Amino acid sequence: MPEGIQGIVADWSSDQRAFKNVPWGKAMMWIFLLSDTFIFSCFLISYMTVRMSTTDPWPNPSEVFGLTLFGKSIPLLLIAIMTFVLISSSGTMAMAVKFGYEKNKRMTFILLLCTAALGATFVGMQAFEWTKLILHEGIRPWGNPLGAAQFGAAFFMITGFHGTHVSIGVIFLLITATKVIRGDLDHERPGFMTGRKGKYEIVEIMGLYWHFVDLVWVFIFAVFYLW
Amino acid sequence: MAAHVEGQQHPIGIYLKIWGLLFVLSTASYLVDYFHFQGYLRWFLIITFMLLKAGLIVAVFMHMLWERLAMVYAILVPTTLLMVLLGIGALEADYTFFTRGVFFLKGLF
């Protein structure tokens, strides 16, 4: 197959499929992720616009999200731990994909479960963070005692939408793990709502979604918590 | 048509290395806050670490590095268009901030 610009033209003008070497399910997942990128960008850019245009001081995230440990307050500690948990889950997911293509059922299953457990840990810590903000700091979507009223709306919308993605990811990780350990993919049994044969590429497609969730967190961490 | 080779297979070492690198970069961006860097230095560091992390995840974990260009461009070109929206947002916010400043100052006198 031709490479470079010639390759692009050849692929797009070719018969049947534009994305060579890519199973259709994977191409569709990429297109879904592209649309999801636009949704998250809308949130993040709206947040930037609101934060830049407010005349009230913005609550200092470094202090709001700090934790007090052994009588010492450490800035952003909880968020840092959450970041490491999510990155670790991405690492285990990448390895699950690798073992999946090697048809190593046991390792794929174990690594998928690790990923799901780390994802659930992340959501748990987020629930803890929300509880702290709502109950102890009095932060509401329409206002808060610390400064600019828009802080709550932006925070709950962005992290809430991200947390929902993580939760849905955990559910699908558990479904994928079940399919792997049951041998559905080895025996090419069709999944629910489809007549197509089960294949190990569904682990990679699951992985794409999971890495995307981690990717979004990279941006949220930088622009919401570190700004 | 010849059968396509589908699926991505790479040695486990590369995933572990990228994982380690992501840990280092995350620690670095956390330290930016911990040491209270301010101003342009802070922004430069935060954005550099953010883009490096995002790039590593997309390129290696999501296997973009090994996809054909037709696929890579289909995903990355629309994403860069978001920079236009970012620019419009920033311009608009600047203007809103300015008019609010003028309005609130007038209210004082």
Measured between alpha carbons, how far is B17 from B40 in angstroms, rounded to an integer?
30
pLDDT of residue A3: 85
Please judge whether B92 and A27 are an interchain contact, meaning their C-beta atoms are less than 8 angstroms apart.
Answer: no
The one-letter code for the residue type at B42 is: R
pLDDT of residue A191: 79
| Superfamily of structural domain A4-225 | Cytochrome c oxidase, subunit III, four-helix bundle (1.20.120.80)
Of B7, B30, B96, the CB nearest to A76: B30
pLDDT of residue A2: 86
Q: How far is A144 from chain B (nearest CA, A)?
A: 21
pLDDT of residue B6: 57
Q: How far is CA A81 from CA A75, A217, A221, in A?
A: 12, 13, 12
Beta bridge partners of A68: A73
Predicted confidence band of residue B101 (pLDDT cuts 50, 70, 90)? confident
pLDDT of residue A128: 94
pLDDT of residue B2: 40
Q: Any idea where the domains of chain A sit in the sequence?
A: 4-225
A42 or B103: which carries more pLDDT confidence? Answer: A42
Range B42-55 average pLDDT? 94
Give the list of residues 6+ apart from residue B73 with CB closer than 8 angstroms, or none.
A8
Q: How far is B109 from chain A (nearest CA, A)?
A: 18
Distance of CA A71 to the CA centre of its chain: 33
Beta bridge partners of A72: A69
Q: Which two tokens stand for residue B60?
A: 């290696």
Range B36-48 average pLDDT? 92
ipTM: 0.91
Which residues of chain A register pLDDT less than 50? none
B5: nearest CA partner in chain A = A21
Q: Determine which of A26-35, B7-16, B50-59 has the lowest per-residue pLDDT on average.
A: B7-16
Of A22, A41, A76, the CB nearest to B85: A41
pLDDT of residue B23: 95
pLDDT of residue B109: 55
pLDDT of residue B82: 93
Measured between alpha carbons, how far is A144 from A133 in angstroms, rounded to an integer?
10
Q: For tokens 């572990």, what's the residue?
A: B16
pLDDT of residue A94: 95
pLDDT of residue A149: 92
Q: Strands (DSSP E) along chain A, which ranges?
A: 67-69, 72-74
Mean pLDDT of chain B: 88
Measured between alpha carbons, how far is B72 from B64 in angstroms, rounded to an integer?
7
Please judge whether A204 and B60 are an interchain contact, meaning their C-beta atoms are less than 8 angstroms apart.
Answer: no
Q: How far is CA B74 from CA A80, B68, B78, in A?
A: 33, 10, 7
pLDDT of residue B8: 80
| pLDDT exceeds 90 at position B34 | no
pLDDT of residue A66: 81
Measured between alpha carbons, how far is A97 from A161 in angstroms, rounded to an integer?
26
Please judge whether A19 and B82 are an interchain contact, meaning their C-beta atoms are less than 8 angstroms apart.
Answer: no
Measured between alpha carbons, how far is A219 from A225 in angstroms, rounded to an integer?
10
Q: How far is CA A153 from CA A148, A203, A217, in A?
A: 10, 35, 18
Mutate to test the interface with A, among B18, B22, B48 (most CBs of A within 10 A): B22
